[in-house]
Amino acid sequence: MRKSPSRAWPLLLAGLISGCAVGPDFARPAAPDLTGYEAEPVSLPAPGDPDPVQRFAGGDIARGWWELFQSPALDEVLTLAVADSPTLVSARATLAQAEEVVVATRAAYYPQVDLATTGSWQYSRSLSSTGRGSSGSNSLVTSMFTIGPALTYTPDLFGHTRRLVEQQSALAESQARQLAAAYLTLTADTVTQAVTIASTLAQINAVVDIIAADEHNLELVRIAFTAGSVARTDVLSAESQLAGDRTLRPPLLQQLSVARHALSVLVGKTPAEWSPPDFELQTLTLPDELPVTVPSVLVRRRPDILAAEAQLHAASAAIGVATAQLYPSVTISPSWVLQAVGGPVAAPSILGSIAGDIVAPIFHGGALKAQQRAAVDAYESELGVYRQTLLVAFGQVADILRALQHDAELLGSETAAVTASKASLELAQDAYAAGRGSLVQVLDAQRLYAQALLGYARAKGQRYLDTVLLFEAMGGDSQAWVEARDRARP
């Protein structure tokens, strides 16, 4: 059946617009069918009074997870860090750039329209001779002037533009996930440095107690030496013990300075502009419920995994872009112009035309197929990166879960060691003061007490630090933060 030209053109145009998209359609990698992160389950023992018992719990992580530490000072520092971080400013700008690239790429869906004008004028000049020289006159012989839209349209017959938009959209999604990762790293690092300050101060306080005990021992020895009951060597031994324990303090003070300076940088300030508060473990509440989800949920939450997935999507779309280049392309260029030809009062006329180009690749020295194969290889590479990202994430979670178990066990042992070594030191000091013990016993008891105090402070601080690492490993509140950011955008 023959169709009239007036009906055939819309059908042809619809076919050109719809076309088809060559190349693979991306499918998200299946979530791993795992119920845990280790073959053996992890249990969290009770560390002993006064330290709380922690337990694993599922569910989403609420926005502002650091508020679980119940420290207003920490909340204020996090507010400053998120507001003034140059890292987030850079990540936001990179994301905005990627989104504008998507908008620019989508423009290829539509005809490109420009306004074109041309004009030409021809003059004639007549010359006449007189006694005083030559003279003449100008006259317009003919003119031509055209104005009209210049339209160019390339139908997306085989999905080149669609795959290109898909690729750029996936890259923008990757940038969004990297912004979320930057936010997660920033918040986790900020809490980590705050906890490091608190842990270091606890260790410094333990050293202060140790030095105080050394000074008390030295006082007892000097009293005994004045009374003539001990030799001068006992005084020297006590002084040596005091001098040795005093060397424990400067490295801790340096560690404290480094943590304070790092926290200043995280909030976007120099150490000369801003100094963080002195956090203390006593003012921080250790979260007792720890968010732990199964691996299938983790892969949909962690921003680094989602960023790798978006890169894999972009690589899949790039295969379609390279495949579409193997097929012909059509360009349509209709035009309508207003034309005036003649003298100054020439009547204008409207002229219309339509032109089309079809370009089909014939021979490119194997370049187009090589580009397609390279795109496939790039996809395989990104698939390997994605799988490696999953393995690293699962290993990181497994390490932290086991670390939390060992932290609780160690803290319980250190608590018992502090209690026992303190009682032993007091007995040794009393016996020495009464003349029934030796200085060697006192110094041995003092050394054990010092080790227990420092060990307890380190173990308690490490438990806080590993708790922060777990929130970070579980993806924190980065997804909720990005969603809230997107809702707030105009």
Higher local confidence (pLDDT), 215 or 482: 215
User: Which of 13-17, 91-95, 279-283 shows the lowest mean pLDDT across its residues?
Assistant: 13-17
For residue 100, the model assigns a pLDDT of: 96
User: Would you say 322 and 167 are in contact if contact means Cβ atoms under 8 Å apart?
Assistant: no
> 394: buried, middle or exposed (CB in 10 Å: 19+, 13-18, 0-12)?
buried
Place of tokens 């055209």: 146
Task: Please say if the pLDDT value at position 183 is more than 50.
Answer: yes
For residue 26, the model assigns a pLDDT of: 95
What's the whole-number mean pLDDT along residues 470-477?
92
Percent of the chain at pLDDT above 70? Answer: 87
For residue 13, the model assigns a pLDDT of: 47
Higher local confidence (pLDDT), 93 or 485: 93
pLDDT, tens digit, for every residue of 50-76? 899 999 987 778 788 999 999 999 999
What's the whole-number mean pLDDT along residues 221-242?
88
For residue 48, the model assigns a pLDDT of: 85
Q: pTM of the predicted model, to two decimals?
A: 0.85
What's the whole-number mean pLDDT along residues 289-308?
93
For residue 460, the model assigns a pLDDT of: 95
Q: How confident is the model at residue 6 (pLDDT cuts 50, 70, 90)?
A: very low
For residue 386, the model assigns a pLDDT of: 97
What's the whole-number mean pLDDT along residues 249-272?
96
What's the whole-number mean pLDDT along residues 376-380?
97
Torsion from C-alpha of 429, 435, 439, 442, nearest 10 degrees: -20
For residue 131, the model assigns a pLDDT of: 52
Higher local confidence (pLDDT), 486 or 214: 214
pLDDT, tens digit, for every residue of 115-152? 888 877 676 666 655 555 555 566 656 667 778 788 88
What's the whole-number mean pLDDT along residues 71-88?
93
Q: How confident is the model at residue 480 (pLDDT cuts 50, 70, 90)?
A: low
Return the CATH fold of 34-107+169-326+369-488.
Answer: Outer membrane efflux proteins (OEP) (1.20.1600)
For residue 487, the model assigns a pLDDT of: 54
Q: How confident is the model at residue 29 (pLDDT cuts 50, 70, 90)?
A: very high
- Cα separations (Å) of 294 from 59, 177, 308? 10, 21, 19
Contacts of 279 (CB under 8 A, 6+ apart): 71, 73, 74, 194, 195, 197, 198, 201
Single out the residue of 218, 213, 216, 212 nearest to residue 235, CA to CA: 218
Task: Please say if the pLDDT value at position 488 is more than 70.
Answer: no
What's the whole-number mean pLDDT along residues 324-348?
76
Average pLDDT of the chain is 87
